[in-house]
């Protein structure tokens, strides 16, 4: 901790023409200030890390298979359950034709059940014998 009374003592030493003692005390104060500034910077970094952890704790959801990150009204993900549980890291799962795979730990997860597409969502047929009738010209 920086002792503020030492600044008065430095001033008094300069007034009394005791320059070497004043410079020595001033150098000590400078050293203490630098230590405190470094500690303050480390505490700021630590505070940011805790804020990030708190943000994740409030905004990460688990759906039974993987984690999702809520940002506003958007759900981002899915993220690997293994990596988050083990390391606290969010690694987005990559989709393959039949699995979700984590690029970091290679964990594999079954794709969630997807309902069939409705008639309107299906791609048009391209059978060679089919005929397309235009409704509007």
Tell me the mean pLDDT per 10 residues along the chain, length 137. 81 92 92 95 96 89 89 88 90 90 90 57 54 52
Judged by DSSP in three states, 119 sits in: helix
pTM over 0.75: no
Task: Mention every residue, 6+ apart, whose C-beta is less than 8 A from residue 56.
Answer: 69, 88, 90
Residue 97 belongs to a domain: yes
Residue 129 belongs to a domain: no
Number of separate domains in the chain: 2
What is the distance between the alpha carbons of residues 75 and 133, in angstroms, rounded to a whole number?
A: 41
Statement to judge: residues 85 and 45 lie in one domain = no
Quote the tokens at residue 28.
């000590």
Residue 12's domain comprises 5-54
What pLDDT is stored for residue 38 in this prediction? 97
């Amino acid at each position: 901790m920086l002792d503020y009374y030492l600044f008065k003592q430095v001033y008094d030493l300069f007034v009394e023409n005791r320059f070497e003692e004043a410079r020595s005390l001033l150098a000590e104060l400078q050293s203490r200030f630098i230590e405190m500034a470094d500690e303050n910077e480390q505490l700021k970094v630590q505070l940011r890390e805790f804020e990030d952890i708190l943000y994740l704790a409030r905004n990460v959801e688990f759906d039974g298979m993987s984690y999702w990150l809520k940002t506003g009204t958007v759900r981002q993900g899915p993220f690997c359950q293994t990596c988050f549980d083990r390391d606290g890291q969010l690694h987005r799962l990559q989709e393959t034709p039949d699995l979700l795979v984590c690029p970091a730990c290679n964990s594999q997860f079954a794709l969630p059940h997807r309902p069939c597409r409705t008639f309107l969502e299906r791609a048009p047929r391209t059978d060679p014998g089919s005929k397309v009738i235009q409704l509007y010209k």
